[in-house]
């Protein structure tokens, strides 16, 4: 048996020994100086001692977080890069490949794998809904880990490439895509995405793009696996009440036995400066009197200093949008602004179900202008939140006055933090946050520091990022819906800020 993997981090504040393959391994400790200084929030300090980091014999990092809150164990084998490695004409290839890993391995037939997982109420599942990383995940109760780990490892390392299951896997992806194209909102998002991502690595959408699924063969999947699933592209995350002295030899004998191989991710250019303002108008007769409006624009990256302030500003903006566009003007069923914090980040403003698409853009601009002027919802701040759930009245929401941002900021900071840390509900979701921290921040502990960054946001920061990303930033819009309601939509309204 190979020697036991060497522990690199044991407890709070311990220094990481550089990996022998540091050029190809992910960065893990970018925030070390800040953490060593100790000027971090109590939640972060409390959690730091729960981490252990090790390196397998082939240089693959393992990040372990002890959690005794429950008996569920989560093990995540992460692949960096994702769509960067996938040509547009084969979009969806990595998602198909990961799904095929769950369809049996050399030593475990698909039926036996299903039976074992069903009997133990456990799962081995692919995760691919990110442009920048994918993973194969094992989630099980502690009693069953020893039984299921060999199946998980064999599935990842020795797939059977089940020829009988391959057409079914492809068909499942096709059905998902077809369902999206029959839903007007999903179709609007898809068409906007295709234009917004054109010529960018993200154009190779993970669930397939255009007719890409038609062109993927089982031989393509096998070759893709052989070419891209390398030790240098991977890291492992284990969250739960693991016995590290027992787990590490298991990982080292399996994942640590992969040959040493480099990892070079193709560049992922920013959307900043590369978005051409425009309006796409698409008819969809089945919408029956309704339209869907969405605009995409470049946003700050997760490690950009503007990112926390933009998260907070979007929390503020969402209630203003709801107040002005829906409550006061009845112009839509729902509306919101979102951040998508990928390597090439972008944001969106989405109007869901409107009968007056020609009127919503000026109302959106009016809402943004309120925030840019240094004001936000105040007083009865719960009114709009109630309205978002379909509860409440126009009288309730209308009673809320706009106040200086500083007066409402404590409430919205708490809201932004609640939304960010909602991904802490299960060990599997904690593992996902750790993975994101590595991919986007170069430190597995980075998500613990978001509290400090959000609390540092000021009212002036909110105004600044509002002007930078929501006013002085090109946006690509789409309006899709019933032709009868599109007649008042004008490109001029969508390509200029109408609240000047």
Among 293-302, 338-347, 371-380, the minimum mean pLDDT is found in 371-380
Check pLDDT > 70 for residue 465. Answer: yes
The region of weakest confidence among 90-94, 263-267, 360-364 is 263-267
* Nearest CA-CA partner of 485 in 328, 323, 331: 331
Range of lowest pLDDT (261-275, 311-325, 427-441):
261-275
For residue 272, the model assigns a pLDDT of 93
Tell me: pLDDT of 96 over 60: yes
Q: In this predicted model, which residue has the larger pLDDT, 14 or 177?
A: 177
**Contact at 8 Å (CB) between 459 and 409?**
yes
Q: How many CA atoms lie within 13 A of 172 on its CB side?
A: 9
The confidence band for 379, taking pLDDT boundaries of 50, 70 and 90, is: very low
**What pLDDT does 24 receive?**
52
**Which residue's structure tokens are 């998602």?**
95
Model confidence at 13: pLDDT above 50: no
240 within 8 A of 145, measured Cβ to Cβ: no
pLDDT of residue 425: 81
Comparing CA positions, the residue from 480, 475, 490 lying closest to residue 281 is 480
Q: Are 81 and 64 in contact (CB under 8 A)?
A: no
Q: How far is Cα 179 from Cα 416, in angstroms, rounded to an integer? A: 32
- Residue 249 tokens read as 């030899």
Which residue did the predictor score with more confidence, 451 or 13? Answer: 451
Helix (H), strand (E) at residue 79: strand 72-80
What is the pLDDT, as a whole number, of residue 181?
Answer: 87
pLDDT for residue 36: 93
Where do the domains of the chain lie?
6-257, 278-495
At residue 381, does pLDDT exceed 60?
Answer: no
| Measured distance CA(429)–CA(488) in Å, rounded | 44
Q: How much is the average pLDDT of 470-475?
A: 96
Mean pLDDT across 2-26: 38
Handedness of CA 190, 194, 196, 200 (dihedral sign): positive
**pLDDT tens per residue across span 18-29:** 333 333 568 899
Do 51 and 422 touch, CB atoms closer than 8 A? no
Q: How large is the average pLDDT for residues 481-491?
A: 95
Tokens read off for 194: 């295709």
What kind of fold does domain 6-257 have according to CATH?
A: Cytochrome Bc1 Complex; Chain A, domain 1 (3.30.830)
> Could you give the CA distance from residue 349 to residue 451 in angstroms, rounded to a whole number?
25
Same fold, 6-257 and 278-495: yes
For domain 278-495, give its CATH number from 3.30.830.10, 3.30.70.270, 3.90.10.10, 3.40.630.30.
3.30.830.10
With cut-offs at 50, 70 and 90, classify the pLDDT of residue 323. Answer: very high
pLDDT at position 130 over 60? yes
pTM, full prediction: 0.89
DSSP 337: E
What is the tens place of the pLDDT at every residue in 231-246?
999 999 999 999 999 9
Question: Strand, coil or helix: what is 474?
Answer: coil
Give residue 33's pLDDT. 95
Q: For position 26, what pLDDT does the model report?
A: 81
Q: pLDDT confidence of 317, banded at 50, 70, 90?
A: very high
Q: Which residue has the higher pLDDT, 34 or 24?
A: 34
- Give dist(CA 276, CA 56) in Å, integer: 46
Residue 25: the pLDDT is: 67
**What pLDDT sits at residue 19?**
30
**Which pLDDT belongs to residue 394?**
41
> What is d(CA 35, CA 13) in angstroms, rounded to the nearest whole number?
7
C-alpha distance from residue 436 to each of 132, 304, 498 (Å): 9, 15, 37
Mean pLDDT score of the chain, rounded to an integer? 90
Per-residue pLDDT for 453 more than 90? Answer: yes
pLDDT of residue 273: 92
Mean pLDDT of 142-156: 97
CA distance 337 to 236: 33
């Amino acid at each position: 048996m190979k020697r036991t993997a060497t522990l690199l981090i044991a407890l709070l504040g311990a220094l990481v020994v550089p990996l022998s393959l540091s050029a190809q391994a992910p960065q893990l400790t970018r925030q070390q100086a800040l953490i060593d200084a100790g000027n971090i929030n109590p939640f972060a300090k409390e959690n730091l001692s729960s981490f252990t980091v090790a390196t397998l014999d082939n240089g693959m990092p393992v990040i372990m977080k002890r959690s005794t809150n429950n008996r569920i164990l989560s093990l995540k084998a992460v692949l960096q890069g994702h769509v960067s490695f996938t040509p547009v004409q084969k979009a969806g290839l990595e998602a198909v490949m990961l799904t095929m890993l769950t369809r049996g391995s050399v030593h475990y037939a698909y039926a036996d794998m299903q039976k074992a997982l069903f009997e133990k109420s456990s799962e081995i599942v692919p995760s691919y809904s990110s442009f920048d990383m994918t993973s194969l995940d094992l989630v099980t109760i502690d009693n069953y880990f020893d039984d299921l780990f060999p199946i998980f490892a064999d599935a990842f390392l020795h797939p059977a490439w089940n020829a009988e299951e391959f057409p079914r896997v492809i068909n499942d992806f096709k059905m998902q895509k077809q369902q999206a194209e029959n839903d007007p909102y999903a179709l609007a998002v898809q068409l906007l995405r295709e234009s917004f991502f054109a010529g960018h690595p993200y154009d190779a959408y993970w669930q397939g793009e255009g007719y890409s699924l038609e062109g993927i063969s089982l031989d393509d999947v096998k070759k893709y696996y052989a070419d891209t699933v390398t030790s240098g592209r991977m890291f492992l995350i284990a969250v739960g009440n693991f016995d590290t002295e027992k787990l590490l030899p298991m990982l080292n004998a399996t994942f640590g036995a992969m040959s040493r191989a480099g990892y070079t991710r193709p560049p992922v250019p920013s959307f900043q400066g590369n978005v051409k303002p425009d309006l796409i108008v698409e008819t969809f007769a089945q919408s029956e009197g309704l339209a869907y409006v969405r605009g995409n624009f470049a946003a700050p990256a997760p490690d950009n200093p503007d990112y926390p302030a933009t998260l907070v500003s979007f929390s503020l903006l969402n209630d203003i949008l709801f107040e002005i566009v829906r409550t006061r003007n009845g112009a839509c069923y729902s509306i919101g602004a979102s951040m998508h914090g990928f390597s090439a980040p972008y944001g969106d403003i989405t109007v869901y179900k409107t009968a007056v698409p020609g009127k919503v853009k000026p109302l959106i601009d009016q809402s943004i202008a309120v925030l840019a002027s240094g004001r936000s919802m105040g007083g009865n701040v719960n009114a709009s939140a109630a309205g978002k759930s379909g509860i409440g009245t126009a009288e309730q929401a209308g009673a809320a006055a706009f106040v200086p941002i500083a007066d409402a900021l404590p409430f919205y900071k708490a809201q932004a933090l609640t939304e960010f840390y909602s991904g802490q509900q299960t060990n599997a979701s904690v593992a996902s946050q750790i993975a994101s921290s590595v991919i986007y921040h170069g430190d597995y502990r980075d998500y613990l520091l978001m509290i400090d960054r959000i609390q540092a946001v000021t009212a002036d920061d909110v105004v600044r990022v509002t002007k930078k990303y929501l006013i002085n930033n090109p946006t690509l819009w789409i309006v899709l819906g019933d032709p009868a309601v599109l007649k008042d939509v004008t490109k001029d309204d969508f390509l200029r800020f109408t609240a000047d």
